[in-house]
Amino acid sequence: MTYTTVLSSRVADLNGLVNDWSDWGKDHVLGESSALGVALSQTVVGGDRAGEVNASFQWESIDQAMEGIAKLNASSRVMEMYQRSGVAPTRRSMAKLLAQRGTRDGRYTSILMCTGDMADEATYSSNADTMWDGLSGGANGYAINQVIAGGEFTGMYALVSWTDSLDAFMDAANTTNTSAPVQQIMSNQNIKFVSRSLSRIL
């Protein structure tokens, strides 16, 4: 299993940050931190988090994440990029990847936060297969994560989907979530929806 950390920030000069990120920032961050992957997105719809910019990192372990974050915080180039763009971090969270189907490619992401009972690895995998059967018509990828350190969200599930059309995705999600197999999953694990945010990839 891998882990994801997300640094959420308010940004004064978004265009400046995106330009630096595209020119050199992403490559520098990957090289400096040894992260498996990194992506930048902005929450467009999501309650009081609308407008936040999120830098997400994939790691092999919690220890690697802690070491990588420390290296990035010590990087003068990263700190200078933050200062130029007026980056003001608001929170950092960590989640464990439980199952994934498809890819992490797309123009947009949907993150659905849920409460629910714990399950074993085989159950998470089976649940992902069931969800992917319905979501694959409107999504490029889907992942089940559990927040292990994230303030009030700790212990919750974060269901992340990547798509090129949020209209197509929401149609697929509504059909999938009301299907008998998914309703049974929700009943078995006592799953309840808490919040959803929609973001664009930068």
Q: pLDDT 10s per residue in the chain (202 long)?
A: 899 999 999 999 999 999 999 999 999 999 989 999 999 999 999 999 999 999 999 999 999 999 999 999 999 999 999 999 999 999 999 999 999 999 999 999 999 999 999 999 999 999 999 999 999 999 999 999 999 999 999 999 999 999 999 999 999 999 999 999 999 999 999 999 999 999 999 9
Domains annotated for the chain, with CATH where assigned, are 3-94 (3.30.70.100), 96-201 (3.30.70.100)
* C-alpha–C-alpha distance, residues 24 and 85, integer Å: 15
Quote the pLDDT of residue 1.
Answer: 82
> Residue 93: beta bridge partners?
6
Burial of 88: CB neighbours in 10 Å, binned 0-12, 13-18, 19+: exposed
Enter the pTM of the model: 0.94
Query: Three-state SS string across the chain, please?
Result: CCEEEEEEEEECCHHHHHHHHHHHHHHHHHHHHCCCEEEEEEEEECHHHCCCEEEEEEECCHHHHHHHHHHHHCCHHHHHHHHHHCEEEEEEEEEEEEEEEECCCCCEEEEEEEECCCCCHHHHHHHHHHHHHHHCCCCCEEEEEEEEECHHHCCCEEEEEEECCHHHHHHHHHHHHCCHHHHHHHHHHCCEEEEEEEEEEC
Q: Which residues contact 144 (CB under 8 A, 6 or more apart)?
A: 97, 98, 99, 100, 124, 127, 128, 131, 157, 159
